[in-house]
Amino acid sequence: MAQQPPPGSGSNVSRRDFLKLLAAAGTVMTFAPFVDWGKFLPNPSGQLKERQKVELPDGSQASVKAFPVNHSEAVIYPKTDDPVLNNEAFRVWQFIRLPVELGGDKNDISSFRMYSQVCLHLWCLWKYWPEEGRKRGECPCHGSLYDPLTGEAFAGPASLQAPPSNVLPMLDLEIDSQGSIWIKPPNWSVNGNGIVGFGRFLT
Amino acid sequence: LGVSLHRENSLVRFLRWVYAGVDRTIFMGLKFTFPGRFVSPLGFLGMITFVLFIILGITGALLMLFYEPILDRAWNSVQTINDVIPYGFHLRNIHYHASNAMVMVALLHMYYQYFSGRYKIRNEILWVTGIILGVLTILEAFTGYDIIFSERAELAISIAASLTNSIPILGPQIREAFFGSGFHDFVLRFYAFHVFFLPIVLLGLMVVHFPRFLVFDVPIVMAITGAVMLTGGVFPVDLGLRFDPNVPPGITVPEWYLTGLYAFLRSAYDKFTTGVAWPGLFIFSLLIIPFIDRYKKFSWKDRPIITAIGITGLAQIIVTTYWGFYIDPDRTKSLLERLVIDPVFLYLVMILLVPLSFGFTYMMIKLAKNAEANAKLQPKKSGSGKSSINLPQRWIFGVLIALIAFQVYLNIAAYYAVINGMKNYSLFIVGIMMLVFAGMFHIFRHGRSMEKAPPPKPAVPTTPLKSKPSSAVATSPSKPALTPPGELSKSTPAISSQDDKPLAPPPVAKGGSSSSQSSSTTQQSVETKTDSKVKMADIPESKSIRE
């Protein structure tokens, strides 16, 4: 085994060691293509390349003109043809038009927010409460409170979590010439739109 | 009296022939012992765990015929199983309660091995695989109650996935890879884990985990099975509310084996630390315990530090398990106030439990050693610890017939209960039936052992008595001064129950669980080794049984 090279011979690789190296390299090369097969595991749905409508529960597309100030609706995104899949919490987003004091009366995209409704603490579904004195997202399970302006948890267990788990995932919105609201293609990463149920870094 | 219980009928002969044929297989590496008399189940809790695993496998396989792991159908299919499918209620309840029993028995098994120091003497691999098996068992139970997809299941899934998310760097990717991207994936994948991935790994590990010496005690196994059914009858598992993403769930707590973890999570401290690092640390310390335990002895009394560590862990588990369940009943407070546990308070209690447990262990060891010393000093009253009920042979027949008659009655009652739709009651009765069967088997075994020639008693060198033991015990349960003082004393449970080797019959075993210290015990056991292998062993040698 331990073949000592003769002194002074420098980096002299024995034939046996060289063969071992080749065998190891061959093994690595054999299995290298399979590494990419790890992509089998995650579900590829949800990777959307085009913008989508903000489709309200009544079936209409949300519009700057029609959507009331200080109001919220649950929106399914990404919406599928399968009602079963549409039913799941991970596709439920809270579409909020901010109250007046937060700039919700402006007729542009700055008065709208769309956050994942999955609470960052333990995945209950929070929702926006427009009542006077609340005007915030509240989670019914453990009482995490969310700032509708940024999606950041400011009280409750979610607020105690280290970033990125204290800021809700948020979708980027845009308005067309008719005033209809669209969802831009998302980037599901903590530095992008965030990861549902995990969070997002505030940039 | 003309009483004889013949057992060499053709069926037994056939089974013997099969048994001899199995000699060529790997199973002969295992040594099964069917105890010929009552032995403490503490010594073969592992086998009970395995039996529960088999029960779970059978009931689970049957439940698979009707369960649908689809987001919107999972809960409904469980409801159908529970309410519509004939005997679905029974199967579901047996499955549920057996899963709880399996976790509980596995934990007991672990702690028994821990405190009796069985993980030593080259049993480290058994211990390590056992810990992994335990973790997987809890995961198996966990995935099981998740796929019902009730509100509670949803909470559990969310906790599991958010904990995975909280793993640094790769957390979200791991979650995405193994759990999928939404609840639809979660249910389907948890189902796949529950019915295939985890059981197959469990089975593979069991092959490594099985020691070569196994005990299969029919009455105890039957009693455990009966207890599971009886519990299912008395406390049928509820369905929970169907999870609806648009309706906020009520306050739910996880199953009891996870409320300890839940208490930590409720302290609202960093999720990774509380939910992943602490349990990970606990599992890791259990894994390495055989390698840091440097005591030469086995008994818990001789390993104070290890015992104290075990007691500390146990105390912390018990306290946090209760704490996880506890929710402030004051409804005027906010939900957050009621649920969140002050981390300072929680961790202070955890730390306080350490000196308390060490003190408690110190006290227990002192007491036990005192009792031991006292017992050695005083001449013991013979038979005081060995009070056994011994029935005359004709009574055995009577009792057996009575039990069979009772079973006939129970059968009729169960039949009518099923007809009248009293599912609880029928499950309860079936549980009782199993228990009665356990008693019946015990009586049968007892009768057969009495019928046979009295077992050799090498432990008692002088038998100055006129009567054979079988007739002697039949007439009076306690014969004073039958044996010289000190001979039987060590095996009497009255002195110390821990020291009593679970499978050692009183006449043979001397050393108790520390039997390897006393060489005489092993010598005696060697003498009785030969015949105990194939026959239903009347005297299982004390050294051989570890499981």
Residue B93 is which amino acid? N
- Neighbour tally for B178: CB within 10 Å: 17
Q: Please name every residue paired with B77 in a beta bridge, in sequence order, or none if there are none.
A: none
Q: Give average pLDDT by consecutive 10-residue segment, chain B, 547 residues.
A: 62 86 75 78 86 93 93 89 89 92 92 86 86 93 90 84 83 86 88 94 90 82 90 85 71 84 81 86 90 82 84 90 82 73 86 89 86 78 55 78 86 81 84 89 81 58 46 42 41 40 42 40 40 41 42
How many Å apart are CA B315 and CA B357, to the nearest integer? 7
**DSSP β-ladder status, B213-215 and A153-155:** unpaired
Q: Does residue B203 contact residue B53 with C-beta atoms inside 8 Å?
A: no
Q: Using CA atoms, how far apart are residues A94 and B127, in angstroms rounded to an integer?
A: 50
Comparing CA positions, the residue from A145, A197, A173, A162 lying closest to residue A53 is A173
- Cα distances (angstroms) measured from residue B541 to each of B138, B203, B520: 33, 28, 12
From the list B184, B265, B271, the residue facing A165 with the nearest CB is: B271
Cβ-Cβ contacts under 8 Å for B284 (sequence gap 6 or more): none
Q: Do A142 and B165 touch (CB under 8 A)?
A: no
The per-residue pLDDT for A23 is: 95
Q: Flag whether the pTM goes above 0.80.
A: no
Q: Which residue, among B320, B323, B316, B315, has the nearest Cα to B339 in the 3D structure? A: B323
Supply the pLDDT for residue A11. 66
* Residues 6 or more apart in contact with residue B344 via CB below 8 angstroms: none
Alpha-carbon dihedral sign for residues B480, B483, B484, B485: negative
Quick one: which of B157, B167, B162 has its CA closest to B188?
Answer: B157
Predicted confidence at residue B524, as pLDDT, reads 41
A2: closest CA of chain B, how far (Å): 31
Which residues of chain B have a CB within 8 Å of the CB of A89?
A: 154, 182-183, 245
Say which residue the tokens 């006393």 belong to. Answer: B518
Strands (E), A62-201: 71-76, 92-97, 112-116, 127-129, 136-138, 145-146, 153-155, 173-175, 181-183
- Count CB-CB contacts under 10 A for residue A120: 33
The angle that helices B218-234 and B45-64 make with each other, rounded to 10 degrees, is 50
Say whether A165 and B178 touch across the interface (CB within 8 A): no
When the pLDDT of each residue in chain A is averaged and rounded to a whole number, the result is 85
pLDDT for position B119: 83
Beta bridge partner(s), residue A138:
A127, A145
Token representation of residue B345: 């308070």
pLDDT at B388 (0 to 100): 59
Q: Are A117 and A151 in contact (CB under 8 A)?
A: no
CB B387 within 8 A of CB B477: yes
ipTM of the complex model: 0.78
**CA atoms of B196 and B180, how far apart (whole Å):** 17
What is the reported pLDDT for B324?
A: 84
Residue B414 is inside which H or E element, if any? helix B393-419
Residues 6+ apart with CB under 8 A from A131: none
User: ∠B405-B406-B407 over CA atoms, to 5°?
Assistant: 90
CA distances from B430 to A35, B236, B367, B437, B453 (A): 53, 14, 43, 10, 36
The reported pLDDT for the residue numbered B180 is 86
Tokens 């909020």: give the residue: A96
Question: What's residue B429's pLDDT?
Answer: 87
Measured between beta carbons, which residues in chain B are less than 8 angstroms from residue A123? 154-155, 157-159, 161-162
Angstrom distance (rounded) from CA B320 to CA B461: 53
CB < 8 Å from A in window 139-198 of B? 154-155, 157-159, 161-162, 165-166, 171-173, 175-178, 180-185
pLDDT value, residue A8: 53
A177-186 average pLDDT score: 90
Q: Which of B157, B178, B248 sits opposite A141 (nearest CB)?
A: B248
Local confidence band at A125 (pLDDT 50, 70, 90 cut-offs):
confident
Please provide the DSSP assignment of B184-200 as one string.
HHHHHHHHHIIIIIHHH
Task: Name the token pair of B169.
Answer: 């760097």
- Evaluate whether B245 touches B84 at the Cβ level (below 8 Å): no
Query: How many contacts, defined by CB atoms under 8 Å, are there between A and B?
Result: 110
* 3-class DSSP state of B52: helix
Q: Do the chains contact at B182 and A91, CB–CB below 8 Å?
A: yes
Overall average pLDDT of the A173-190 stretch: 89
Which one of B164, B246, B264, B266 makes the best mutation probe of the A interface by having the most chain A beta carbons within 10 Å? B246
Give CA–CA dist B477/B454, Å, rounded.
16
DSSP A200: -
CB B177 to CB A38 under 8 A?
Answer: yes
Contact A161 B158 (CB under 8 A): no
Residue B225 three-state SS? helix
Q: Within a 13 Å sphere around the CA of B120, how many CA atoms are in the beta-carbon half?
A: 17
B205-211: long-range contacts, CB 8 A cutoff, minimum separation 24: B205/B129, B205/B132, B205/B133, B205/B136, B206/B50, B206/B53, B206/B133, B208/B125, B208/B129, B209/B46, B209/B126, B209/B129, B209/B130, B209/B133, B210/B30, B210/B547, B211/B46, B211/B123, B211/B126, B211/B546, B211/B547
Do residues B190 and B14 touch, judged by C-beta distance below 8 A? no
Report which DSSP code applies to B66: T
Instruction: Return residues 61-120 of B near A (CB < 8 Å).
Output: 70-72
**Confidence at A22, pLDDT banded by 50, 70, 90:** very high
Q: Could you tell me the CA-to-CA distances from B357 to B172, B302, B349, B364, B526 in Å, in that order?
A: 39, 16, 12, 10, 40
| Probe site for chain A from B157, B162, B178, B270 (most A CB atoms < 10 A) | B162
